[in-house]
């Protein structure tokens, strides 16, 4: 709309600055936009299953599926073509493959090792990250091994198991491993083990500030770790994941991971923990990742289904807020559709949707 002086009208307020001037048109808004979200900022978490298919829908995560290897490879090709630089692989193994120590996580023929080889063979330039934690593989659903009395997760024995898992993934060709277990000392121990085997170039994306969140529910359905805490006694994820009340402790965890050799630090969940992302951004020079988790994704879907919020606007806004808080990269189940939307968006780019 053209601006015309309205001579009949004198300003009611005498204002030296009117910030609305720069918000008047889409092109002005594009000029002063401070934060930009690109497909290259996004990492797609993917769920992998055994077998020939078909892919399985995950009820609590609309649009997300558990992928057999052939579908996984096809999905990775599509993501790469859309400009997504990285995927993070999670396994769902059958109940009968689980045991108390998560043996199915190990070895050259584990589901994830085969998945890494298949993806790297098909899309060699795509960065393949693997999740390092035992919860998809243990009968009790904990991220580590339980102590003999079942009352705690045994930190140091768990770290031994995580090292074996990380080495297996590195041998399969993973570009980065991402420990999500929250055991003490695992970053330094995995770094040393990778280096000792000559995997100096395999990166460590550390789930540094990972909180004991109620919003992981849909993920636990996706990987089948949902019965955690109900099987093997009083051990609780709160004994290793951070208390949502604790900001200083989160920074301490992250700076320890940095000192132990992490290449990238992560905050998880993302949207409810923007203060932690910002705090950490100001205290480290490492790249920062944030994980927009399953419950964050499910909430937006659920409210949009009820007609209470506009889906695409809220999706884009949720990601933009995480980037604005200071994350360099975002793990998000929205990765593919946001990259697709970026392809077809109008001349002012993706954020024209969120900023319109």
**Cβ distance to ligand PBG smaller for residue 133 or 354:** 133
C-alpha distances in Å from residue 17, one per residue of 20, 21, 22, 30, 232: 9, 9, 11, 20, 63
Binder to ligand PBG among 110, 208, 225, 318 (CB under 6 A)? 225
Confirm or reject binding of residue 221 to ligand PBG (CB under 6 A): no
Distance CA(241)–CA(134), nearest Å, equals 14
Total residues at the site for ligand PBG (CB under 6 A)? 13
**Closest distance of CB 356 from ligand PBG, Å:** 28
Of 92, 98, 120, 210, the catalytic one is 210
Binder to ligand PBG among 71, 75, 88, 143 (CB under 6 A)? 143
Q: Is 140 exposed, middle or buried (0-12, 13-18, 19+ CB in 10 A)?
A: buried
Q: Mark whether 336 is an active-site residue.
A: no
Segment interacting with ligand PBG (CB under 6 A) among 19-27, 109-117, 212-220, 320-328: 212-220
Q: How many residues does the chain have?
A: 356
Confirm or reject binding of residue 133 to ligand PBG (CB under 6 A): yes
**Cβ distance to ligand PBG smaller for residue 164 or 352:** 164
Binder to ligand PBG among 220, 247, 281, 324 (CB under 6 A)? 220
Confirm or reject binding of residue 161 to ligand PBG (CB under 6 A): no
Q: Please report the beta strands in the chain, taking only residues with DSSP state E, as ranges in sequence order.
A: 42-48, 56-57, 65-67, 86-91, 127-132, 176-179, 203-210, 264-268, 288-292, 329-332
Strand, helix or coil at 356?
coil
Residues 294-313 that bind ligand PBG (CB under 6 A): 294
Confirm or reject binding of residue 289 to ligand PBG (CB under 6 A): no
Confirm or reject binding of residue 216 to ligand PBG (CB under 6 A): yes
Q: In b/e form, how buried is each residue of 294-324, taking b as 16+ CB within 10 angstroms?
A: bbbbbbbbeebeeeeeeeeebbbbbbbbbbe
Q: Phi/psi of residue 97, each to 5°? A: -90, -5
**Cβ distance to ligand PBG smaller for residue 220 or 281:** 220
Neighbouring-strand partners of residue 206: 265
Under the rule (CB under 6 A), what is the footprint of ligand PBG?
131, 133, 135, 143, 180-181, 216, 219-220, 225, 237, 293-294
């Amino acid at each position: 709309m053209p601006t015309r002086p309205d001579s009949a009208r004198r300003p009611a307020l005498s204002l030296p600055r009117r910030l609305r001037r720069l918000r008047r048109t889409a092109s002005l808004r594009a000029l002063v936009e401070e934060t930009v979200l690109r497909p290259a900022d996004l990492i797609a978490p993917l769920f992998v299953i055994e077998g020939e298919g078909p892919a399985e829908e995950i009820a609590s995560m609309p649009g997300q599926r558990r992928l057999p290897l052939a579908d996984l490879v096809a999905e990775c090709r599509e993501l790469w073509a859309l400009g997504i630089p990285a995927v993070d692989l999670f396994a769902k193994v059958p109940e009968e493959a689980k045991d108390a120590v998560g043996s199915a996580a190990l070895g050259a023929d584990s589901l994830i090792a085969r998945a890494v080889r298949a993806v790297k063979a098909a899309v060699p330039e795509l960065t393949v990250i693997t999740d390092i934690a035992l919860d998809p593989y243990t009968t009790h659903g904990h991220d580590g091994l339980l102590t003999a009395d079942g009352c705690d997760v045994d930190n140091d024995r768990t770290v031994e198991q995580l090292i074996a898992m990380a080495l297996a993934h590195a041998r399969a060709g993973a570009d980065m491993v991402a420990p999500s277990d929250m055991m003490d000392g695992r970053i330094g121990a995995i770094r040393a083990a990778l280096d000792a085997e000559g995997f100096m170039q395999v990166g460590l994306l550390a789930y540094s500030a990972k909180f004991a969140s109620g919003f992981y529910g849909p993920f636990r359905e996706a990987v089948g770790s949902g019965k955690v805490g109900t099987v093997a006694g009083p051990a609780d994820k709160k004994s290793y994941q951070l208390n949502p009340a604790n900001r200083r402790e989160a920074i301490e965890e992250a700076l320890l991971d940095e000192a132990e050799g992490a290449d990238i630090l992560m905050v998880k969940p993302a949207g409810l923990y923007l203060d932690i992302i910002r705090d950490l951004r100001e205290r480290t020079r490492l790249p920062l990742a944030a994980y927009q988790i399953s419950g964050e994704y499910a909430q937006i879907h659920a409210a949009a289904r009820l007609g209470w919020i506009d889906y695409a606007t809220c999706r884009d806004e949720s990601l933009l807020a995480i980037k604005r808080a200071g994350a360099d990269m975002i793990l998000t189940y929205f990765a593919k559709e946001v990259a697709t939307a970026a392809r077809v968006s109008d001349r002012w780019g993706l954020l024209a949707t969120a900023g319109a």
